[in-house]
Structure 1
Amino acid sequence: MIKNIEFFRPKSSGFRCNATQLIFAFVVLFVAFVSHAQTPEQLFETGNSQYAQNNYEEAIKNYEKVLDAGYESAAVYYNLANANYKLNRIAPSIYNYEKALQLKPNDQEIKNNLEFAQNMTVDAITPLPQNIFKKWYRAVLGLFSVDGWAVLTVALLGLFTLSFLFYYFIASTSLKRTLFTVSFLALGLGLLSLTLAFQSQSEKRNRIFAVIFSPEAEIKNAPNLAGESSFVLHEGTKVRVLEQDVNWAMIQLADGKEGWIPVSDIKLL
């Protein structure tokens, strides 16, 4: 006859774990966890040390942990891009240089390294020509990020307020003229900066870009596998996303070509 399995049961006179002991044990475990967990700053510095030792794989892991913790900066994306570039990973390096450039649009070092990474791409795309006024507009709009234009607007309007107050209270006629001119220019430039801030925000919202991560992506003329192939793109190529559903995205190249690509083949910037 098979007997019922009997589990060991401690006697009631044995050790009892009360609430105080449980709280104490929890506190000890929590302190141990916190003491071993690295802050994003420490992870970043660890990544930098590993990068200096040519340990690029581990450096990438630590930089990605910083981003996973919800912290981002141009420096993190830039170093992550550099580590991927050292490993000849085209798409991740270009993607992270682009992310760094979004946060620091005027950083020449990021632009230079991005250009080096783009030289590794297969696709040669000639952008459509732009008129001189559109080039100037793009150049001015790209001087600052949305936050940069917002900060500049606040600073200029603050200068206008101070200049106007001094103008109102100071008795000197010559100084009044100077302060009136300064306040007028600050107000005009502040309003222009505010306009550019809204334009930059609109551009950011309406102009969505992505980087192709697939080694080779077949661009279709319709959002389905049965669609005809229009052209082929390769990893690292930057594209503009015009529309997107769950599985497909309609993209546009700098030369004006358009087509559909599986969402799994791209990573949005």
Structure 2
Amino acid sequence: MRVFIILMLACFSVCINAQNDTVFNEGNTLYNQGKYAEAIKKYEALLDKNEHAVALYFNLANAHYKLNNISPSVYYFEKAKLLSTDDKDIENNLVFAQNMTVDAIDTLPEVGFSRIFKDIVNTFSSDSWAKLAISGILAFVLFFLLYHFTSATSQKRVAFVISVLGFLIAVFSLVIAFQKNNLEIKNNPAIVFAQESRVKADPNNTSEEVFRLHEGTKVQVLESYENWCKIEIADKTTGWIPSEDVKLLKFFR
């Protein structure tokens, strides 16, 4: 009975995937015919089914770009980039989409030790740093045992040095893994979807306006309060924006 249920679930999964592929291909056909609005409907139908793939976001972004829909174009290119960080086509098309935005915000560069440390942390993902830490621990244990049980002086010296290096690598990698994880948690990007949004000093409509943002601008959401989000832009300026004016990139519907 259990085998039958597994086979039924497998067949159901295959059918669902085949249907999704059909819808995706229909969207691509419409896109190639220049029917971008209709293609978008097909792609969004897949999103409603919780389909999240690089190709889907990339094609959806391209369709919006063809229609000069600034915010959705930037938004879906950014989402595609989250799933495929080294894709040059995504990077290039994202730049084209960002060129349609109004806001020109200078990025505040990292300097000194802070920049060096952040570059080291961002070398690998938190999982990769954790794996490196585990490798260091294994090296420490193995060579410490070799140091303990071997009798040759030269072998003891080599085993001791390698075991110490393994321990240091493990500690360093573990610290960096925690730092990388903290950075990933704090990284909460969003795209402005309002045509123009007035950013306030405090989370209320009567507060002083500090600056304005326009559609397609990328921000960092620092915290939320009721119907407001505290944001930070590239030059480190902060303010409060209505929650409905921004859309989080890490949210997968």
TM range (shorter): 0.7 to 0.9
Q: How many residues align?
A: 235
Which residue of 217, 224, 229 maps to 1:237? 217
C-alpha deviations, 1:146-189, integer Å up to 9, x for none? xx542575488579869x98x97xxxx9xxx9999999888866
Of structures 1 and 2, the one with the larger relative CO (CA 8 A, separation 6+) is 2
Distance apart, 1:190 and its partner CA: 6.7
Aligned to 2:127: 150
Structure 1 residues 139, 241: closer, same or farther in 2, change over 3 A?
same
- Tell me, in whole angstroms, the C-alpha distance in 1 between the residues paired with 2:78 and 2:233: 16
Aligned to 1:78: 58
Q: How high is the TM-score relative to the length of structure 1?
A: 0.69
Which runs of structure 2 are paired with 1:76-115 in the superposition (5 Å)?
76-115=56-95
Distance apart, 1:137 and its partner CA: 4.0
Aligned to 1:117: 97
Alpha-carbon contact 2:60-2:76 (below 8 Å) kept: yes
User: What amino acid is aligned across from residue 183 of structure 2 in structure 1?
Assistant: E
Aligned to 1:201: 181
Structure 1 gaps of 5+ residues are 1-33
Aligned to 1:6: none
Alpha-carbon contact 1:105-1:143 (below 8 Å) kept: no
Distance apart, 1:215 and its partner CA: 0.5
Alpha-carbon contact 1:161-1:183 (below 8 Å) kept: no
- Tell me, in whole angstroms, the C-alpha distance in 2 between the residues paired with 1:109 and 1:188: 40
Distance apart, 1:82 and its partner CA: 1.4
Which runs of structure 2 are paired with 1:1-269 in the superposition (5 Å)?
39-143=19-123, 149-150=126-127, 153-154=130-131, 157=134, 195-269=175-249
Alpha-carbon contact 1:152-1:190 (below 8 Å) kept: no
- The DSSP-based 3-state class of the residue aligned with 2:43 is helix
Q: How high is the TM-score relative to the length of structure 2?
A: 0.73
- The DSSP-based 3-state class of the residue aligned with 1:60 is helix
- Tell me, in whole angstroms, the C-alpha distance in 1 between the residues paired with 2:198 and 2:166: 52
Cα RMSD over matched residues? 3.7
C-alpha deviations, 1:184-233, integer Å up to 9, x for none? 88886676555444333322222312110000111112211111221111
Structure 1 residues 202, 229: closer, same or farther in 2, change over 3 A?
same
- The DSSP-based 3-state class of the residue aligned with 2:247 is strand
